Amino acid sequence: MTGTAHPQTPLSRRSWLARAGAAVGVMTLAACQRGQTISESLRVSAEALTRRSQRLLIPREALAPEYQPSQISPFFKPNGSIDPAASDYVALKDGGFADYRLMIDGLVEQPLSLSLADLRERPARTQITKHDCVEGWTAIGQWTGVRLETLLEEAGLMPEARYIVFHCFDALTQTEEGPRYYESIDLVDAMHPQTILAYDMNGQTLGVPNGAPLRLRVERQLGYKQAKYIRRIEAVDSFEAMPGPRGGYWPDRGYEWYAGI
């Protein structure tokens, strides 16, 4: 560059803007060439920004709002699967879930296999919370269950464990062969005081439409993270170890894995 340039002229500002525009264009093109659509690139940036800022601004233990018994919704809309078709589930359901065993394995020192009676023997937490569906509706329900942290401490998480995966009985296609629902959360949410595996809803045994015999409540995220019909809980070190590429049935289909908004 020669010394005669006029850095303050509108032309230099314009060329700066042109360069900035070109840079954004190149980044977008690069993202698209990696096989991502524009909307996919937007998801990656916005989800990272939202997750990081929420993790930064919201204390680890900050509780989701809890409600009064009078505020419980008269109708808690069952959504997604409401009666799983898988034969292993149907057999358990027909036996009143007496033969149900929750498996906890993966990166743990001591894998566990727990019956519903085993789960009910452990300390319980009851909470009245709101359920925010990604579609926009809200329902308030009372949940009783055992804290996930209690079970993970019992099993002993290995140091390399970073995510907890919930494997479910149901396939949203309502068929035997359909891809089964799964979800995953990180250890911040796994250890949160309100993160429970619920076996009771509104003071009664959890019904089939709402996820019997056991469902997850992770109260600072949207409804699709609240996995129903849980059969197995697995500790893993990365997304590669999960059934799908993005850590959940709906995340694999374009929704955010971090569903705090």
Partner 1 sequence: MTDGVIETTTPPGADPAPDRHADRPLPGGRVDTYRHPPLVRISHWLNVTAVVVLIMSGLNILLAHPHLDWGTDTNFGNHWLDIPPIPNWLLLPQGRNLAEARHWHFFFAWVFVINGLIYLAYGFISRRFNGRLWPSRADLAGFWPSVKEHARFHFPKDEEARNYNVIQKLTYVFMILVVLPMMLITGLSMSPGFNAVGGFLLDIMGGRQSARTLHFISGALIVGFIVVHVGLVVWTGFVNNMRAMITGWFVLEPSAPANDDHKGDAS
Contact residues for partner 1, defined by CB under 8 A: 13, 39-40, 42-43, 45-47, 49-50, 54, 57-59, 62-65, 67, 71, 73, 75, 77, 130, 132-140, 219-222, 250, 253-256, 259-261
Q: How far is the CB of 50 from partner 1 (least distance, A)?
A: 6
Backbone angles phi, psi at 219, to 5 degrees: -75, -10
Of the pair 19, 253, the CB lying nearest partner 1 is at: 253
Q: How far is the CB of 112 from partner 1 (least distance, A)?
A: 29
Of the pair 133, 172, the CB lying nearest partner 1 is at: 133
Of the pair 58, 98, the CB lying nearest partner 1 is at: 58
- Please write down the HEC assignment for all residues of 6-47: CCCCHHHHHHHHHHHHHHHHHHHHHHHHCCCCHHHHHHHHHH
Of the pair 40, 99, the CB lying nearest partner 1 is at: 40
Q: How far is the CB of 102 from partner 1 (least distance, A)?
A: 25
The Cα 143–Cα 128 span in angstroms is: 6
Q: How far is the CB of 209 from partner 1 (least distance, A)?
A: 14
| Nearest-5° Cα angle at 117, 149 to 81 | 75
The Cα 88–Cα 12 span in angstroms is: 69
Widest pairwise Cα distance in the chain = 88
